[in-house]
Amino acid sequence: MTTARTLLTDRLRLRPLTPDDRDLWVRLHTDPEQYPFAPWAVARTTDEASEKLDLALAHWVGHGFGYGVVEDRGSGEALGVAGVIHGRERRHLNLYYRFDRPHHGRGLGPEAARAVVADALEHGPALPLVATARPEHLASTRTAERAGLTHVGAADEGALLAGVPPEVVARARAADPADVPAPVVLVAPSVHVHRAPFDPGVRAEVLDLWCAVNDAGGAVGFLPGAARGRVAEALAAHEDSVADGRAVAVLLRDPVGALVALGWWVEGPNPLLAHRRTAYRVMSHPERRGRNLGRLLVAALHRVARADGAEVVELGVRGGTGVDAFYAGLGYEEVGRLPGGIRVAPGDDRDDVWMARRLDGRRLS
């Protein structure tokens, strides 16, 4: 968690860690069965585990974010811990999650990690977000990947891993025995903000992504099979808005630099609407579905809009795609609907749905 707020998912509530969580923390970190792939990492005593809790609490005091407790939204039962903290060198953020053994196998790790990574991208320090896992611990690796991180390699001595400072690679295995394989490293996408028209290389990447999303059936302005030239004309119109200072493009790139998601914020022409932004062409790569990229892109868009002074953000959604439910899960409310306002094909009219939310989290009403 990257602020002293509560995060909500379908089943979970994530709140900041407090001294009252000592029993949960000690139980999680002194149980050898919690560490089947790294038995050397278990706390040997209650005092040793408590000292680690004190460090986690001090991180909250010093930085305003840190590990949180994951609770069941219905019962309030504490299920585990999850969150991000600064790495020791203060050059990256470290993603962490650990659940009590009775709750393993329920898919709670990915659910919590997806929320935590999005929260870090929206509110956290602008540093690489990294997770490490034992190479045999495939479930932990899958959890990080489903949260949006990319496997970039093992932290072998002298390894150079994409998106990871060298000293972070060295630190990743500092506490491990010398005779065990190095942990694997995973890295979250980075945010790239464009306030000027794209150079030719980036423009080609954006066109490639846009056409791929079109052809996969994404509701981003065209139907599958749309000619690249038509998409290029629409892209040129967005770039004109960027050149005029009325729009900004937000791109997500994976650790090796591949473009994986993008969207635009556009200001209205009326100064009375200066506190609002409208999102256009919000899209992620169809070959990377299920990797949390849509949520991470919206988090990055919110970060940029908030930094630009926006208070209310809005977007249009094509009915019948299920996308309105996705945005509702991110705090957007339906504020208007034109039945049949979008004609996909003869006899196939869809509702044109307008959704909005406040960036401070308060309800629009």
pLDDT, tens digit, for every residue of 157-172? Answer: 889 999 998 888 888 8
The CATH number of whichever domain residue 234 belongs to comes to 3.40.630.30
Same domain (yes/no): 56, 70: yes
Last residue within a domain, chosen from 142, 157, 187:
187
pLDDT single digits (tens) 60-91: 999 999 999 999 999 999 999 999 999 888 88
Specify the pLDDT at position 72: 97
By DSSP bridging, strand 12-16 and strand 67-72 are antiparallel
Residue 209 C-alpha from the chain's centroid: 19
Q: Which tokens in the block code for residue 307?
A: 């930094």
Type of residue at 237: A
Is residue 353 one of the residues assigned to a domain?
no
Pairwise CA distance, residues 177 & 181, whole Å: 9
Determine, yes or no, domain membership for 348: no
Q: Are both 231 and 277 inside the same structural domain?
A: yes
Q: 187, 205, 222 — which closes off a domain?
A: 187
* Domain hosting residue 255, numbered range: 190-310
In this predicted structure, what is the pLDDT of residue 167? 85
Q: How many CA atoms lie within 13 A of 265 on its CB side?
A: 30
Cα 188 to Cα 49, 84, 90, 134, 201, distances in angstroms = 28, 12, 16, 18, 23
Look at residue 275 and tell me if it is in a domain. yes
Residue from 191, 188, 67, 192 nearest 128 by CA: 188
Express each pLDDT in 226-250 by its tens digit. Answer: 999 999 999 999 999 999 999 999 9
In 3-state terms, what secondary structure has residue 314? strand
Q: Structure tokens of 5?
A: 């707020």
The answer to whether the pTM exceeds 0.75 is yes
What pLDDT, on a 0 to 100 scale, did the predictor assign at position 87?
A: 87
Q: Which two tokens stand for residue 111?
A: 């659910």
Closest CA to 35 of 113, 79, 116, 101: 101
Choose the final residue of a domain: 187, 209, 226.
187
Q: Do 195 and 179 share a structural domain?
A: no
CB 354 within 8 A of CB 313: no
Number of domains forming the structure of the chain: 2
Regions of the chain where pLDDT drops below 50? none
With tokens 């070959």, the residue in question is 287
Residue in 264, 268, 251 with CA at minimum distance from that of residue 220: 264
Confidence at residue 344, expressed as pLDDT on a 0 to 100 scale: 85
The answer on 79 and 194 residing in a single domain is no
Nearest Cα neighbor of 80 from 128, 131, 121, 31 is: 31
Residues 194 and 294 in one domain: yes
354, part of any domain: no
Phi first, then psi: give them for residue 126, nearest 5 degrees.
-80, 70
Residue 316 covered by a domain: no
